[in-house]
Structure 1
């Protein structure tokens, strides 16, 4: 080619230079924007609408030039959109599975015809989503639309699903939630962020042209993420799911607390992800992957490079060579540049050195690719890296040290592991606390792989069959949803702080009720406070006294649970099953005492009490048999390579038990938690704690590790506050008051916890049916999180 400089293969191999980039065009995208006068409205009831007298927001490109204006919807638009979605849900859900699949396949054809326009609109808006990825998503979920009734017959769509994105959320992150929700028969309202609004409106228009019924997909654009909370307040919304950065996800969770709608979060933007390079890795390939994925114009995550000491110098020298001549990258604003410069200066003051592709420009929103050498794991540039092309480099000596570095983060989104040793790769992949692991590759994803971002990175599963269940509910009435309501006026700092009445235990005498212990760390014990509560019968008579547990008791229980849970999780499923079978035998040996406790406290007849004990024994045996039934697999991928999907334990689960069926509900939730490797802290019902306290005798005689199951009695609200505020507890299953549900939703967004909430029914209203067999599958899926491991091949 004229004017080109030819290098030998030997020179290219050592310089690792990339070829020239092809010229990009945005003519089609600009024409689409011009056709709409660069003023975008809303997509409601199958058509683009531009209501008058609405404010708007300006969207600029990477150079600061205005691309278009995006309308800010008003209350009237939300109401019209909600009504349209209800009608759209009716027409969409009444179609057969085959008919919905055909519509989604027609979307593939329409998207193929307009792939250039979609790609260019995503590029100019910096809302990355290659058309090939969208086509793969549509093809995958169209097949699940076809098979829903055949493979998931006991589940039904939720209704109207609200998908909210932050301003920096990409179109692909939205579609990962929109398309499975549609495939399961829901209607969807999308509230995109500013950058993803134009491509979301374009896709809604294309999908409507493919035959999607009017109202099945609506797009509302707003002023910020809190606009999503305003939409969620509409009574027709059945489920809310968020994708974007953590800060806006927290705001959405807090703003929707008390609405009676479930909210899931994927806070994937800005997550800190480990890039681990072992001495057995192909260093040249690892360096090339670093340059291609770390030093790019737009990064959704922050990578931290962890390198084995023996190859550090070799890797850094290759990085220097590969980075030489790279230009400075554009940042979003001058403010971002100041944040980057401040982080770099602080790292240098702490002794770090820099590897930069060129000198930073004197001004402007740009900064060169920079590797920070010698930074400590606790350095701010590692713990909370700013936006920009910065790559902290840490070193390790052993595999265990590499895992410790990788897990030293509040995030758990993804990891990249580089080694030619398969055993080392799999061992490390299983040990790092992240939802997705790529071996000898970076950021590969496919909708067939279920991924549950760990820790602060998310509270739901996306992808695979497992990711579909967030958009479904059990068909039976055994699991009623949260009732929709308006948020209560609450002072969250005062919840659970009311001083309980003091109970003075009378001096020992023949007529004094006995004092029953709680169960912490494998031992029967009193509460740290030394106070007690009355255990009363249905007629008000005092049956016994139980400990009044508090924050310190929860702390002790968590410490005991954390010590034993990793070992319990690593046990084989068959070993856990044997322990549960043994627990069921112990329960059967104590059936007379447990029947008496249910009869005495609840007022049920002995026959009914004995029936509940019998059901509880059967339920524990069911969980023992279920231990090895929720398995992972090897999904089929469109690319060469092998993949694994693995169910993993959540960690420590806090369970606030219901009043009804005190024994059956307890063993159901206990069995769900421990059968899949979790440790559990049980808070028995204030009204009916006696069966749980009697069950302690069964636990004492079991072979469960000490600390795996803890039972703390006391006032429900106070103990709920302690569970919600403990950073180590990964999930809370709560049965209680509307105030308690609202508090848990508001408080468990930072740190993020997986929630299962139910309002305690009053006045004889029917709550959850604990005898229904479908509860096994439902609770089993709530007790695990999923990890995907991708090992590509040539």
Structure 2
């Protein structure tokens, strides 16, 4: 027909345009807000509470219209909520696994009735999570609620869990922590960000309708993430977990330092993720998907496009074709537009060329989708990407260079790989230091896939069976590792800088009776400290000098980290059976030195000869147990309800720093050492100042072992000074610490940039408590707890459709 504007199928395939979206209604969500007078209170003890004289925060939609206001909780509200959560915990925990599973499944039916309201409210608040996604999560975690006592019989719920999120966190990320915590039998206090507050309040109301006991799920709203720190200060809180952006996560970590509450953070928002296109990829599909991922209206991650040199021209041509005619993307403010303009100008100044769908408007808070071609890895738009629809494009030549570019970012959240070569895809996925890898797809989310942030993308694992253990503790643990307390007033810059104790000079000049001088162990060699000085080791009563040991410091830690970082990648790639053989050989070496080590324990700790010999015997057995663990737990295939294959793979953390306990000095050291190296890590150990001799005597066993030089390092000296050196070294990925309350608080406050995984145990000066751990017990749950804390998880999704 003449003058017709109807496009043919050929035209649509050429332009790859999407049909206009159907207008979405929000009448049901608006009615729910009107029912609450657009002033949402707190949700405590299964009902909405609106305390008088409270400040409120306004929430606006994408067009700037005020949707509603939320109440800002205060100290009295937190106390009331925590008391309600304790009562709810007792009621929820008293139910059988079957009854808890039924409650979660009943919510599926409730969502079927009110799914439209949930969907519309999420759309209004820009807190993306569809009812279908929530139903899938409920079905998955209700199954785990049913199986907890069957498959995790040696584990028990933590208690009251606080789930905190930032303003820009999605509802999916929030519920990925709330639902498993409930499924494992904990009660939960949600401290949502502004965007997720209305949907979280609605879901809490629906949970109550499904039969959740009063107080088992509470919602406290506030103006910012500092409310989470106030909640953590309540003595009834057992655990705090956070999801959102890095800035708020660091703020929460520093604010909760010294409170005695374990904290895990998942700073997924704003992470930089590589989108890698190899020459063997389906280029049309890859280009379509990268445009979909990079230029969506609301995105939680920043994508960097990496293209193999042989096909870069073809990819650029397809990008130009696909971007032609696309509309500008709305920005949140004029200030965000200024940041985008500055980033584009900086990239052009460094030689980048632009691909844009249209010319940028002279003003207004919007910008066209833009590809920055030919940027360098050090470019600001890659290292610190600005908000807005910008997609940096980098070029690589070889597979090795692609992995290098992919690992260049300080973040380690996810990566998308595009290739038809499955071998190449799996090799690349294994080499990338990220928690999730999607092959020929992107942003595949399912609750059975473990989401484990690497590097600066988190210290916890969410999703899958692996993510359940953060909400459980071994049943045999007699007390929490950190007692609740108020933060200690500290000058963090002066921690570990105190004067060293004056060395005790032996009075007897006879060299035959003089105390022995020990060496430390760095890079596979027994050596003195860099400073050349030594400190005295006192007898149990403190009346005489038993020996002298090196006074190590920051430079010794630096040398040990260099040696460990050099050898750890090769040790990680060794077959688990080869690592097991090395541990068995270490056990034989320990057995050969049994008498010397038994004597060392007897002299150092004052234990009887029989008790010291018993500790050596347990240490030999513990090495054999960890040798058996090496090749027994290796992840596996995951049942995802989508066409494709999903794998979960445990990977070592890297280089671990450990400040060892005082109690059972040999047995505790052997247990920690074996757990670390059995899983592929390298380790730097700091023996206790009080009982270092059994660990130093063990160096003889290490020297005669076949462990690679530098895999195990032992540095003696001031505990606080060496703790500071470990905390401030960027290569160390995790710190396990047994020590003072001040040391625990210092690590919580300091280990935020880059993020380090922390296991902290506050032990007493007398009869070190070790956080309730009995080292003489070979409890399966305690050993599994150590194993799970020595690895981080990677999920690999391979699309087949």
Query: Do Structure 1 and Structure 2 share a fold, with TM-score over 0.5?
Result: yes
Partner of 1:779: 786
Partner of 1:761: 764
Q: Which stretch of the first structure deviates more once superposed, 613-622 or 334-343? A: 334-343
Q: 3-state SS of the aligned residue for 2:706?
A: coil
Mapping for residues 387-536 of structure 1, pairs under 5 Å: 387-477=387-477, 480-503=480-503, 509-536=511-538
Q: CA distance change for structure 1 residues 2 and 723 in 2, over 3 Å: closer, same or farther?
A: farther
1:537 correspondence with 2:544: no
1:770 correspondence with 2:775: yes
1:619 correspondence with 2:604: no
Q: Distance in 2 between matches of 1:113 and 1:789?
A: 35
Q: 3-state SS of the aligned residue for 1:646?
A: strand
1:712 correspondence with 2:709: no
Partner of 1:630: 633
Q: Distance in 1 between matches of 2:572 and 2:451?
A: 19
Q: Distance in 2 between matches of 1:72 and 1:579?
A: 57
Note the alpha carbon deviations across 1:744-784, whole angstroms, 9 max, x for none: 11111221111111011344475420022222111011100
Q: CA distance change for structure 1 residues 765 and 512 in 2, over 3 Å: closer, same or farther?
A: closer
1:789 correspondence with 2:792: no
1:63 offset after TM fit, Å?
A: 1.4
Partner of 1:127: 127
Aligned to 1:584, which of 583, 587, 593? 587
Q: Distance in 2 between matches of 1:348 and 1:764?
A: 64
1:536 offset after TM fit, Å?
A: 2.0
CA contact (8 A) 1:479 1:769 kept: no
Q: Distance in 1 between matches of 2:744 and 2:719?
A: 12
CA contact (8 A) 1:504 1:532 kept: no
Q: Distance in 1 between matches of 2:690 and 2:2?
A: 86
CA contact (8 A) 2:481 2:762 kept: no
1:9 offset after TM fit, Å?
A: 3.9
Partner of 1:284: 284
Partner of 1:653: 656
Note the alpha carbon deviations across 1:287-327, whole angstroms, 9 max, x for none: 11011111011110000000001111111111111111111
Aligned to 1:736, which of 734, 739, 755? 739
Q: Distance in 1 between matches of 2:66 and 2:21?
A: 25
1:12 offset after TM fit, Å?
A: 3.0
Q: Distance in 2 between matches of 1:223 and 1:640?
A: 42
1:21 offset after TM fit, Å?
A: 1.6
Q: How many residues get paired?
A: 794
Mapping for residues 74-113 of structure 1, pairs under 5 Å: 74-113=74-113
Q: Distance in 2 between matches of 1:310 and 1:146?
A: 52
1:537 offset after TM fit, Å?
A: 1.8
Q: Distance in 1 between matches of 2:2 and 2:610?
A: 94
Mapping for residues 222-241 of structure 1, pairs under 5 Å: 222-241=222-241
Q: CA distance change for structure 1 residues 109 and 393 in 2, over 3 Å: closer, same or farther?
A: same
Q: Which stretch of the first structure deviates more once superposed, 764-773 or 635-644? A: 764-773
Note the alpha carbon deviations across 1:113-138, whole angstroms, 9 max, x for none: 11111111011111111111111110
1:167 correspondence with 2:170: no
1:299 correspondence with 2:299: yes
Q: Distance in 2 between matches of 1:699 and 1:229?
A: 44
- Any unmatched runs of 5+ in structure 1? none
Q: CA distance change for structure 1 residues 158 and 699 in 2, over 3 Å: closer, same or farther?
A: same
What's the TM-score, normalizing by structure 2? 0.98
1:555 correspondence with 2:558: yes
1:281 offset after TM fit, Å?
A: 0.4
CA contact (8 A) 1:478 1:772 kept: no
Partner of 1:643: 646
1:48 offset after TM fit, Å?
A: 1.1
Partner of 1:724: 727
Q: CA distance change for structure 1 residues 2 and 160 in 2, over 3 Å: closer, same or farther?
A: farther
Q: Which stretch of the first structure deviates more once superposed, 11-20 or 483-492? A: 11-20
Q: Which stretch of the first structure deviates more once superposed, 628-637 or 255-264? A: 628-637
Q: Distance in 1 between matches of 2:35 and 2:572?
A: 58
Q: 3-state SS of the aligned residue for 1:70?
A: strand
1:617 offset after TM fit, Å?
A: 0.2
Q: Distance in 1 between matches of 2:2 and 2:656?
A: 66
Q: Which stretch of the first structure deviates more once superposed, 32-41 or 573-582? A: 32-41
Partner of 1:749: 752
Q: 3-state SS of the aligned residue for 1:114?
A: helix
Partner of 1:603: 606
Q: CA distance change for structure 1 residues 706 and 764 in 2, over 3 Å: closer, same or farther?
A: closer
Mapping for residues 690-705 of structure 1, pairs under 5 Å: 690-705=693-708
